[in-house]
Structure 1
């Protein structure tokens, strides 16, 4: 089972774009997706693509680690594992075996904001997976021995991904410092001691509260149309009785007033690292008018070898061997803007940190150039076009968008909105976000 925090907005199928003019500006076809709502309130989105003789079937639940009860961190991801343990109608292992025997693939992933279960199957197998997925929306059974066995699997997953990786341990501590009140401060996989205490009733309580048609979105892409899918969706998903949307807490972060520092020493570290996380607005939270500008800023500042930080720190000053930036803005809650660097031999994280802040001050006072802005826009649109992943790509993006509370049109308008960002908007977004009192600086070192 895959644990995915964020899949970047950039996997788009060529077939939903049409060229508008010779300047490489692209627009979406008007009918690239179709949407309808079932009688029980469940949303369905269809993304037809007759060029691929198969379909992707993804059920998204608007529920993630941020919705976990206090003291029960990790239950959202744990439940994702348990969803493969079967129902009375389809016992443990039958779902996976059926998909595999039909030549398909399946998996699932959990984030702070949502949980999703997907299959890639031949068209003739679509009805089968719809019936089985609809059955486990309300019919999951969990035995205590399954809970105990799967806990061992999840704890080993945490050991591999977090405990055995000093960088992951540092990032976990930085998240806990960055988000002072919001549940994003808890690790997606859960704190180890809380995972160890989770029981069968915890899983069932979370499942019965949040796994419901009104909290779910079905997205099907490939060789199918809404006209053909709707009768099947009504037959299987429409028959699932909804108990209504469960109330979710709306956690608001207090003002960020103080710069925070996290210093971690670990004998396994062979090369120092520097990380700076800035608390940031997202597309749905806080000053969301800055979100598109921050997306482009991450590209200009730290997106590859031609970025400002790489050129200044690695190429010119030679005080780092790596430098970059990334922005996480497709969230139900607040976002984050991250800068990272690995000092060169003989240089300290503190020297690199000083050079980074010098560049940030320069950015805030003088802004970006029109050439930098044009290059970043062109690069991001190219990534959107060519970093596509067959059946799943566009369905994943659409799911992320709607599961975080945005409308499908967000995807259609993304290129246009990125293209309309000005240099002054980027400078303003940087001034709003990249403030020391808005940040957590993390330093990873070996034992001295």
Structure 2
């Protein structure tokens, strides 16, 4: 399913000028060492990253467009996800669905996903077919062909998808309510897939307008990983993406979030809920706008709180008190504009959701009062850095990591420097970051509850 809550001839350039310009697009090897990676930029603005990994004769290709749901016009925020579906509907040279069929019959796989900030299309296939997938991806970057006969049936598909993933899922509806309450003004408050009443009015013109505005080489990142060389990828990228027109310059135009004034709560009851559930979200700086290593300190803090059996909350609530069936936290510093820090908890069967929330509050208060220890920080950093090292063994992992990060405005150097910046975090950094975000007015608490039998029976 192409959805994430988390899937005409090109212009010709004069041969001599193109050849000279392409010769200047030399790869710049990264100096960090999570994985080997090389970056170069084509004259039309396409950013290209190559992540060689010769463990198997497989390649993974991803194209990330720097456009997501938050870039839609008012009333059209879900159009980014709708266009993601329509990108598989064909060009002058590819029939609807042929893109995926060509990959499938060669034993490969393809898909896509849309988030608030980026839309990513990706394929995994034997290395001898890289030229085919690159040719097809370049083709649909500028040559998508849409008509009402193609678009309107797909609109029914995304409406059905919304029903399955959101409308008929109490957890999905709670997530929408939390987002709409956490962000007062910023478009992150709107669902990636869109509101149903707006989706019902999407048109072919809406999809084409978004496509023409955002889909171009200068607003995209091509990442290729696996059994490839930089030279091979550069030749193919120059051949298929190089002749495409640069496209207009794109500026993200988004409403800004005002300072929060009060803590907020939302609660959803549903007869299908068997286990209560709690989520607490705090607005937080993201990696792009954090001061110093604030974002990395929040990553370490999350690991200290819920990093496996060693985490404070996990140890206290799941092992010692046995009050919670599960508890977790997470810092998301990836979004282009605003990050967030989340807590999640489910009490044991028959347990008290209020008691679980109180314990989370006590643990937050303990961090704010006494901070964290040097040993906790050292242990958390070691676990995080080990997980980064393990990423080297994956072919697809680094590709998705780079595509997502660069699509959201970060750099390859940022991605590669992650272990180093995690390693620089101190206990004082963690306390300072926690003090900055753990403010009641900065939060929304959402609860998912079973609906009482007598209430559920009412029409």
Match of 1:192 in 2: 196
Match of 2:287 in 1: 283
Change (3 A) 1:149 1:389: farther
Are residue 372 (structure 1) and residue 376 (structure 2) matched? yes
Residue pair 1:303, 1:326 contacting (<8 A) in 2 also: no
Q: CA deviation at 1:243?
A: 2.2
Change (3 A) 1:222 1:442: same
Residue pair 2:6, 2:113 contacting (<8 A) in 1 also: no
Match of 2:274 in 1: 270
Are residue 358 (structure 1) and residue 362 (structure 2) matched? yes
Q: CA deviation at 1:177?
A: 0.4
Residue pair 2:6, 2:114 contacting (<8 A) in 1 also: no
1:222-256: per-residue Cα shift (whole Å, max 9, x none)? 22222222222112101111222223214321101
Match of 1:229 in 2: 233
Match of 1:4 in 2: 4
Residue pair 1:302, 1:339 contacting (<8 A) in 2 also: no
Q: CA deviation at 1:32?
A: 1.6
Are residue 81 (structure 1) and residue 93 (structure 2) matched? no
Match of 1:245 among 225, 242, 249: 249
Are residue 333 (structure 1) and residue 373 (structure 2) matched? no
Change (3 A) 1:303 1:191: farther
Change (3 A) 1:288 1:69: farther
Residue pair 2:282, 2:437 contacting (<8 A) in 1 also: yes
Equivalent positions of 1:16-95 (< 5 A) are 28=33, 32-95=36-99
Change (3 A) 1:71 1:250: closer
Change (3 A) 1:261 1:224: same
Match of 1:400 in 2: 404
Alignment partners' CA distance in 2, 1:203 and 1:17:
37
- Indicate the RMSD between aligned Cα atoms, in angstroms: 2.1
Q: CA deviation at 1:17?
A: 12
Partner secondary structure for residue 417 of structure 2: helix
Match of 1:391 in 2: 395
Are residue 179 (structure 1) and residue 158 (structure 2) matched? no
Match of 1:23 in 2: none
Alignment partners' CA distance in 2, 1:202 and 1:382:
45
| Greater alpha carbon shift after TM alignment, 372-381 vs 339-348 | 339-348
Residue pair 1:402, 1:408 contacting (<8 A) in 2 also: yes
| Greater alpha carbon shift after TM alignment, 67-76 vs 380-389 | 380-389
Change (3 A) 1:387 1:36: closer
Q: How many residues align?
A: 431
1:326-356: per-residue Cα shift (whole Å, max 9, x none)? 1111110101111111123454322222221
Match of 1:426 in 2: 430
Are residue 217 (structure 1) and residue 240 (structure 2) matched? no
Residue pair 2:182, 2:189 contacting (<8 A) in 1 also: yes
Match of 1:104 in 2: 108
Partner secondary structure for residue 309 of structure 2: coil
Residue pair 2:187, 2:254 contacting (<8 A) in 1 also: no
| TM-score normalised by L of structure 2 | 0.89
- Give ranges in structure 1 of 5+ residues lacking alignment: 8-15, 19-26
Residue pair 2:293, 2:421 contacting (<8 A) in 1 also: no
Change (3 A) 1:389 1:139: farther
Residue pair 1:209, 1:246 contacting (<8 A) in 2 also: yes
Q: CA deviation at 1:72?
A: 0.8
Partner secondary structure for residue 305 of structure 1: helix
Alignment partners' CA distance in 2, 1:406 and 1:345:
43
Q: CA deviation at 1:2?
A: 3.2
Residue pair 1:5, 1:112 contacting (<8 A) in 2 also: no
Residue pair 2:120, 2:404 contacting (<8 A) in 1 also: no
Alignment partners' CA distance in 2, 1:208 and 1:170:
34
